[in-house]
Each structure stands twice: as C-alpha cells, then as structure tokens.
C-alpha cells in the first residue's frame, strides 16, 4: 500500500505537525529556562533520557513530514514537466531520508 498525503490528508498532516512542533519548542524553551544545564555532561544526560529522546525523535519526524508535504506541494504546483517533477521529488525524498537516517544515528549515539 502506498502512503499518500494529498488534499485534506496533507492539510491535516501539515497542521498537526506544526502544532506538535510548536508545543515541543515551547516545552523545551520552558525546560531550558527553568532548569539550565551548564555542562556538556548535564546536556547529554538530559538528552539521553528516554522521554526526551522519544520527544526529539517525534519532533524530527514531524519536521520531516511537514517539510515533505510543503515541498511536494510546491513542486507539484510549479515543476511543470513531469520528468523534472519526478526528478525533483526523488531528490527531495532522498534528501529527507538522508536527514532522517542522520537524526536516528545522532539520537542512537547519545543513548550509548
């Protein structure tokens, strides 16, 4: 089965991911201002806690989904030759997949 975000589904993905990212940023800024972490070891122990690591993973998943829907819509609207559109969509998908792998590797490294 092919996962497609078009029309109303794409609109919901865009809005839900934006709301989640906004809430994450607000909570993170509140945590940073209430509990400052002056040393690298304190930052690392905070980031390696399971709840924070899972929230960061969800944040980056929402960010990448948000980026995919937005860039896909722009390319579908403005890249007129079908071949060029497919090439650009493939490049965007490859780039976002690379970023996703990179984020997972970083979060896995923090856990060890």
Q: Residue 99: enclosing H or E segment and its boundaries?
A: helix 82-111
Whole-model pTM over 0.85? yes
Diameter over CA atoms, the chain: 53
Q: What is the mean pLDDT of the chain?
A: 92
Q: Which domains does the chain have, with CATH numbers?
A: 8-111 (1.20.1300.10)
Query: Tens digit of pLDDT for each residue in 98-111?
Result: 999 999 999 999 88
DSSP output for 1-53: ------THHHHHHHHHHHHHHHHHHHHHHHHHHHS---SHHHHHHHHTSHHHH
Read off the pLDDT of residues 31-40 as tens digits, 9 standing for 90 and up: 989 988 889 8
How many Cβ atoms are within 10 Å of 69's Cβ, its own excluded? 19
DSSP 69: H
Distance CA 45, CA 32 (A): 14
């Amino acid at each position: 089965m092919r996962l497609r975000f078009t029309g109303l589904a794409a609109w919901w993905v865009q809005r839900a991911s934006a709301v989640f990212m906004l809430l994450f940023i607000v909570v993170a800024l509140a945590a940073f201002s209430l509990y400052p972490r002056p040393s690298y070891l304190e930052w690392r122990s905070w980031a390696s806690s399971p709840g924070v690591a899972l929230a960061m993973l969800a944040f980056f998943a929402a960010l990448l989904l948000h980026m995919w829907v937005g860039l896909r819509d722009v390319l579908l609207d403005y890249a007129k030759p079908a071949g060029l559109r497919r090439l650009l969509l493939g490049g965007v998908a490859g780039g976002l997949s690379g970023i996703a792998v990179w984020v997972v590797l970083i979060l896995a490294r923090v856990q060890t």
